[in-house]
Structure 1
Amino acid sequence: MKNSILIAILILSNWAIAQEKKMSKSAVIVFEASVPSFEEVKATNKNTTMVLNSKTGEIASLALMKGFRFKVALMEEHFNENYVESHKYPKALFKGKIVNFDANALTENPKEFIINGKLELHGKTVMLNVPAKIRKSGSGIHLVSKFIVNASDFDISIPSVVKNKVSNKINIQLDAVLN
């Protein structure tokens, strides 16, 4: 009898903890480093993993660098080999916390939040404060964010041959539904 009660308590506590974690394995990151009048420098990664602890507001995201797809295959090759060196630095990792997050207060109308955290990319870590719009979505949470980082902050150098064709300022968009 005691064993049955103990097992039931363990199952219920695991279920309660699992309810706090919201996750997506198909979050989308789009980055663009285009310069006006030149070819578009834009890539999309549709297989980003994101986890949100809906009780604490802690959030983490992992994107594999080789998961970014460009319209032009040669750009993708240069991106992986010359810029982010994905053989040495295969992933980008973000860990942070949503300021004043309360999952119970979310509605279908987006609310604006700030996410404080650190982005690890290309062997460097940069502290970020990024805006996010977060809303309730079906059985999950929908998060959208747009922000800018500088390639130079991550020691990603743009060769002088293409310096006027590729921006140091990288526009990043993130879209995730966490269930």
Structure 2
Amino acid sequence: MKRLVVLFIALLIGSTMFSQKMITRSGEIKFDATVPGAMDEVIGTNKTISAIFDKSTTDLVVLALVKSFKFKSPLMEEHFNENYMESDKLPKASFKGKVLNYNGKAGSYDVEGDLTIHGVANKVKTKMAVAIDGEKLMISGAFTIKLLDYKIDVPALAKKTLSETAKIAIKLVLENK
């Protein structure tokens, strides 16, 4: 009987620790580098984002395959992958950081860490909204980056349609692992 109680407690503790990590493989990132007032929108959407959030450490890791961004125009998608992002050579974009002061409740939190795009990592800090729906945790927010900070050059001919900055919007719906 004693062994059964010890086993039950070990399983309970193990499952509690195990459930601290939440994951998704279907998050969404929107990349918007549209020049204000331009006729063509430069908006790509990637709906195959993987992410892990550890509630106990508040670590957040997000991974995106660059080739998974979809644009309205196949030509724009080709230019994005070949000319700007060089996705054959640099296939991944990632974020590794923390949700600061996360207390297990819904609200607005600072998120800080390293954003790696085009093989270049830079520190970013932004606000993200955290919502709770039953067993699911939703993290969403947006921030702006300068393309040159990630060694993405905008040629003179493209400056009428491609902005030198990009707004990155992210939505993650995470579930217990």
Per the normalisation by structure 1, the TM-score is 0.90
1:115 matched residue in structure 2? 111
Q: Which amino acid aligns with 1:21?
A: K
Deviations 1:71-95 (A, max 9, x none): 0000101111110100111000100
1:31 matched residue in structure 2? 31
Question: How many pairs does the alignment contain?
Answer: 174
Distance 1:28 1:2, change over 3 A: same
2:100 matched residue in structure 1? 99
Q: Which amino acid aligns with 1:140?
A: K
Give the RMSD, CA atoms, in angstroms.
1.8
Q: Which amino acid aligns with 2:21?
A: K
- Tell me if the contact between 2:146 and 2:166 (Cα under 8 Å) persists in the aligned partners: yes
Rounded Cα–Cα distance in structure 2 between residues aligned with 1:32 and 1:129? 19
Correspondent of 1:158 among 154, 158, 162 = 154
- Runs of 4+ off more than 3 Å: 1-14
Q: Which amino acid aligns with 2:16?
A: A
Shift of 1:130: 1.2
Q: Which amino acid aligns with 2:160?
A: N
Shift of 1:165: 1.5
Shift of 1:25: 0.6
Per the normalisation by structure 2, the TM-score is 0.91
- Tell me if the contact between 1:144 and 1:175 (Cα under 8 Å) persists in the aligned partners: yes
Unaligned runs of 5+ in 1: none
2:61 matched residue in structure 1? 60
- Tell me if the contact between 1:147 and 1:171 (Cα under 8 Å) persists in the aligned partners: yes
SS of 1:167's partner is strand
- Tell me if the contact between 2:34 and 2:162 (Cα under 8 Å) persists in the aligned partners: yes
Q: Which amino acid aligns with 2:150?
A: F
Unaligned runs of 5+ in 2: none
For 1:125-136, list aligned pairs within 5 A. Answer: 125-136=121-132
Rounded Cα–Cα distance in structure 1 between residues aligned with 2:2 and 2:119? 51
Q: Which amino acid aligns with 1:47?
A: T
SS of 1:69's partner is coil
Is 1:141 paired with 2:137? yes
Shift of 1:7: 6.2
SS of 2:38's partner is coil
Shift of 1:5: 7.3
